[in-house]
Amino acid sequence: MTSRRHFLAGLAAASLAPMRGWSAVGAPDYLAAALFPDGSYRLAGLDPSGDILFSLPLPARGHAAAAHPHRAQAVAFARRPGTFAIIIDCATGTQTAQLEAPQGRHFYGHGVFSTDGTRLFTTENDYEAGQGVIGVWDTDSYRRITEFSSGGVGPHDMRLMPDDRTLVVANGGIETHPDTGRAKLNLPIMQPRLTYLDQSGEVLEQVALPRALHKNSIRHLAVRADGLVGFAMQWQGDTSQHPPLLGLHRRGDAPKLLSAPEADQIMLQGYAGSIAFSDAGDTVAITCPRGNALHQFRVSDGQLVGAFPLDDVCGLGTGPNGFVFTTGTGVVGRLTATGAKIAVRSVCQWDNHLVPIRAAA
Amino acid sequence: MRAIVLALSLTLPVGAFAQDRLPILTDTVNAHILPGYAALAEATQTLATAAQTNCDPMSAALRAAYHTAFDDWISISHLRFGPSEVDDRAFALAFWPDTKGFTPKALTSLISAEDAAIQSSAAFAETSVAGRGFFALEQMLYDPQFSQLGSEDYRCALIQAMAKDINLNASAINADWEVYAANLTSPGETSPYRSENEAMQELYKALITGLEFTAETRLGRPMGTFDRPRPKRAEARRSERSLRHVALSLTALRDLAARLSADHPDIAADLDGAFAAAIGRAQSLDDPAFEGVATAQGRFRIEALQQSINDIRAIASAELGPTLGINAGFNSLDGD
C-alpha cells in the first residue's frame, strides 16, 4: 500500500530529523538502565562505542526509557510494578522531575513522547480492574492530564507510528496485581493483543494471534519507517512447545510469525527480550537472554539469516553501522557483516533495553 | 553464517558439570511424581462415583470425596509441566485465581441456559475451564448462591458432569505420565530434556515456582495490603481449605526438595529445617480460610508464615540452584 517513494521519504525523515536540543550538548546515542557494582540501579547514556557518558541513580531497578523528540530530556521508567518514572536532563545528567503513577496504577516500564514533544504516554496497570491503561502527561509540568484504556490487559511496550498520531501498544495479556508481586493471575484465559489507538484512546485496530498461541505474550515492539510493526513475544504455555517469538504486522493485514529452524528455536526457552529493525529496515532482530542468543531475520521472506550466541543478551538498538546490543554480563557490542563484536565490557549489568536516541527505531 | 549457527548449538549451559543425576531423577519420578498422580486418579474416581451415587451438595460422602481428591491435587499442583499442560488439563482441574469472577459467571450461564454440554464428557470438556474443576465444584457444593439457582435436576447433573470431567482429566494426566516419565529418567536425543541437568532443572523449577505460588498467590492474594486486606480472595475459602492448601503444598515441596538435594546433605539439612519452620507456622495457625488477614494480629501471623516460605525460596536459589547449573543471568531470570 505504501509507495516506495513514501517509504524512502519516511526513512530519510527518520534518520535525518534533527534532535534540536540534543545535538547541542554532545548527547548520548543510547540510554540504558543497569545495575552497578556498588548495588545501585542507574540510567546511563552511552556513546556509539559503548562508553558511558553519564549515569544517574534510579530509586529502584529500571527498565526502559524514552527520549524527548527535541529537548535534551529523557524519561526512565521503573521496572513493573514500579510507580516512578524520572525525567532526566541529558545535557547535565541530572534529574529534573519525577512522575508518580496515580493511586491504583503502576507503570509497566515503557512509554513514548508525542512527535511535538508536548505529551508523554505511559503504559500502566489499573490493577483493581485488571485492565491496561495509557496515562497521558503534560511535558511542561509533567502533570497527568488524563488516561484511556489500552485496549487490553497488561500493556507493556508502546510506540508511535510513522504517521505521528497512532499509538501501537503491546497488550501482553497477562494480569498481575501488586499484592501478588509478579505472579501471573490469568494464564489459561490470557488474550494478548497488538492494539492500534489514536491519541484520544479510540481503538483503531485489534490484532490477535491464532487461538493455539493465546499464551504467547506480545511484549516488545519496533516500528519501521514505513509502518511495519515488529513484535517480540514471551511464551507462557507448555515448555515442550517452541512457538515463534517474533511477529510482523502491517495495518489491515494478518500478522506474520517468524521462527528459526527447530534446532535453534528450541534453545530460546520461549522468551524474547527486545526487538529492533536494522537501520536499512531490511532485517529485524530479537534478543533471547534465556537462550543466550540474538536472532536476525530477513524481513522480505522471514528467513533466519543469523543466530549469534551471546550470554544474557537483552538490550537491542538500531545503529547506523549495524545492531547494537547489551548484555546482563556488561557487554556492549555491535552486529556487523562479519559477526557479533564486543565493543566494551562495562562494569555494570545492562538491563533489558537499549534505547536509541537518534536512530529511526 | 552457517558456522555461527553451529557454534550456538554447541554452547553448553554455564556451570554444568558432568554428574550422575540419574538416581535422583529416577527417585523423584518413582517416589514423588508417579504416586502423586496415581493417587489423584484414584481419588477422583471415588469422587465421580460419589457424585453419581448422591449428588446432594450436603452429602457427607460426596464432600469427603471432594476433600480427598482436592488434597491429592494440591499435593502435586507444583508439577506443572508435560502431561498436566496438554490441552490445559491442569487449568481445567484448578482455575484459580479467578480475578474477574469467571467461575460464578460460567456456572450461572450453564445453569440458566440448562446447557446440554453437560450431557456428554466430550462436549463438557469444550466448555470454559472456569466452569470446570475443583473450584467450580466447590461453588456448587458450598456456595449458597448456587444451591437454589435453576432446577435441582440440572444442578445435580452438573455436579456429576464436573466430577466425571475432573476424573477424566486426572486419569489422562496419570496415563500420560506413565509414558512421559522416561523423558526425565532417560534424557537425551529423544527427550525434551537433552541432558540429566536439563531434567534436574525442570524439577528445580517446579520447586521454585511451587514455593512462589504458595507465598505470593495463596498467601499474597488474601493478604492484600495492610490497609486493604482481601479475605474473600483466599483460595477455596468456601470449603475452608485455604490454610490446608498451604500446608499440603509445603509438605509436598519439602518432599521434592529433599529428593533434589539428596546428594548434598548440607543443603538438604538447610532446606529441611526451613520447611519444618514454615510447616510449623502453618500448623499453629488456627485460621482455615485466612479470615485473620483483616485483623492486625491475624495478619502478623500470616505474614510470618509468608516470610518463612520466602526463607525457603532464598535457600533454594542460593544453595540448591547453583548445584544444578542454574544460570542466574540478570536478564534471563527477569521475565519482563
- Residue type for position A185: L
Nearest residue to A284 via CA among A360, A345, A328, A231: A231
Would you say residue A65 has pLDDT above 60? yes
* Contact A308/B at CB under 8 A: yes
Cα A65 to Cα A62: distance, rounded to the nearest angstrom: 9
State the smallest CA–CA distance between residue A51 and chain B in angstroms: 20
**What would the pLDDT profile of B140-152 be if each residue is shown by its tens digit?**
999 999 999 999 9
Query: Which letter does DSSP use for residue B31 in this model?
Result: I
Nearest CA in chain B to A338: B1
What angle, 0 to 180 degrees and rounded to 10, lies between the N-to-C axes of helices B60-74 and B242-260?
Answer: 40
Place of cell 501501537: A168
- Mean of the per-residue pLDDT values for chain B? 93
Cα A212 to Cα B269: distance, rounded to the nearest angstrom: 44
Cα A133 to Cα A171: distance, rounded to the nearest angstrom: 10
* Contact A60/B at CB under 8 A: no
Nearest residue to A281 via CA among A338, A223, A231: A223
Contact indicator for B304, B281 with CB cutoff of 8 Å: yes
Cα B215 to Cα B232: distance, rounded to the nearest angstrom: 17
Res. A19 pLDDT band, cuts 50 70 90: low
Considering the segment(s) B18-185 as one domain, its CATH architecture is Up-down Bundle (1.20)
User: B8 and A352 in contact by Cβ < 8 A?
Assistant: no
Query: Which letter does DSSP use for residue B228 in this model?
Result: S
Q: At A185, phi and psi to the nearest 5?
A: -100, -10
Domains of chain B: which residue ranges?
18-185, 196-323
- Mean of the per-residue pLDDT values for chain A? 91
Res. B51 pLDDT band, cuts 50 70 90: very high
Would you say residue B179 has pLDDT above 50? yes
Q: What is the pLDDT of residue A261?
A: 97
Domains of chain A: which residue ranges?
4-356
User: A239 and B95 in contact by Cβ < 8 A?
Assistant: no
Q: What is the pLDDT of residue A22?
A: 62
Residues 6+ apart with CB under 8 A from B35: none
Would you say residue B329 has pLDDT above 80? no
CATH no., domain B196-323: 1.20.120
Q: What are the CA-CA distances from residue A59 to residues A53, A233, A353 (Å)?
A: 20, 28, 18
Q: What is the pLDDT of residue A337?
A: 84
* Contact map slice: A 241-300 vs B, CB within 8 A: 263-264, 267, 271, 273, 289-290, 292-293
Res. B18 pLDDT band, cuts 50 70 90: low
Q: What is the pLDDT of residue A23?
A: 56
Query: Which letter does DSSP use for residue B216 in this model?
Result: I
Nearest residue to A349 via CA among B333, B209, B201: B333
User: B331 and A308 in contact by Cβ < 8 A?
Assistant: no
Q: What is the pLDDT of residue B235?
A: 98
User: A311 and B14 in contact by Cβ < 8 A?
Assistant: yes
**What would the pLDDT profile of A239-284 be if each residue is shown by its tens digit?**
889 999 999 999 999 999 999 999 999 999 999 999 999 999 999 9
Residues 6+ apart with CB under 8 A from A5: none
What angle, 0 to 180 degrees and rounded to 10, lies between the N-to-C axes of helices B265-284 and B296-315?
Answer: 170
Nearest residue to A108 via CA among A15, A221, A197: A221
Among A62-76, A213-227, B40-54, B142-156, the minimum mean pLDDT is found in A62-76
* Highest-confidence segment of A25-29, A179-183, B164-168: B164-168
- Residue type for position B332: S
Would you say residue A128 has pLDDT above 60? yes
Q: What is the pLDDT of residue B6?
A: 36
A42 Cα distance to chain centroid: 18
**What would the pLDDT profile of B205-236 be if each residue is shown by its tens digit?**
999 999 999 999 999 999 999 999 999 999 99
Q: At A89, phi and psi to the nearest 5?
A: -85, 110
Q: What is the pLDDT of residue B284?
A: 96
Q: What is the 3-state secondary structure (H, E, C) of chain A?
A: CCCHHHHHHHHHHHHHCCCHHHHCCCCCCEEEEEECCCCCEEEEEECCCCCEEEEEECCCCEEEEEECCCCCEEEEEECCCCCEEEEEECCCCEEEEEEECCCCEEEEEEEEECCCCCEEEEEEEECCCCEEEEEEEECCCCCEEEEEECCCCCEEEEEECCCCCCEEEEECCCCCCHHHCCCCCCHHHCCCEEEEECCCCCEEEEEECCHHHCCEEEEEEEECCCCCEEEEEEECCCCCCCCCCEEEECCCCCCEEECCCHHHHHHHCCECCEEEECCCCCEEEEEECCCCEEEEEECCCCCEEEEEECCCEEEEECCCCCCEEEECCCEEEEEECCEEEEEEECCCEEEEEEEECCCCC
Q: What is the pLDDT of residue B8?
A: 37
What angle, 0 to 180 degrees and rounded to 10, lies between the N-to-C axes of helices B296-315 and B196-212?
Answer: 170
Nearest residue to B257 via CA among B32, B20, B17: B32
ipTM field:
0.88
Q: What is the pLDDT of residue A9?
A: 40
- CB-based burial label for B304 (10 Å; 0-12, 13-18, 19+): middle
Would you say residue A10 has pLDDT above 90? no
Would you say residue A89 has pLDDT above 70? yes
Choose between A358 and B54: higher pLDDT. B54
Nearest residue to A67 via CA among A127, A120, A146: A120
Nearest to A264 among B5, B85, B95 (CB): B5
Would you say residue A21 has pLDDT above 80? no
Mean pLDDT computed over A12-31: 58
Q: What is the pLDDT of residue A358?
A: 63
Q: What are the CA-CA distances from residue A91 to residues A28, A32, A179, B69 (Å)?
A: 9, 16, 38, 64
**What would the pLDDT profile of A154-191 be if each residue is shown by its tens digit?**
999 999 999 999 999 999 999 999 999 889 999 999 99
Q: What residues of chain A lie within 8 A of the CB of B99, using their CB?
A: 130, 175, 177, 185-186
Cα B150 to Cα A201: distance, rounded to the nearest angstrom: 41
State the smallest CA–CA distance between residue A245 and chain B in angstroms: 14
Per CATH, domain A4-356 is 2.130.10.10 = yes
Would you say residue A87 has pLDDT above 80? yes
Res. B153 pLDDT band, cuts 50 70 90: very high
Q: What is the pLDDT of residue A205?
A: 98
Q: What residues of chain A lie within 8 A of the CB of B326, using their CB?
A: none
**What would the pLDDT profile of B241-292 be if each residue is shown by its tens digit?**
999 999 999 999 999 999 999 999 999 999 999 999 999 999 999 999 999 9
**What would the pLDDT profile of A38-49 be if each residue is shown by its tens digit?**
999 999 999 888
Cell digits of residue A309: 550466541
Would you say residue B332 has pLDDT above 80? no
Contact indicator for A151, A133 with CB cutoff of 8 Å: no
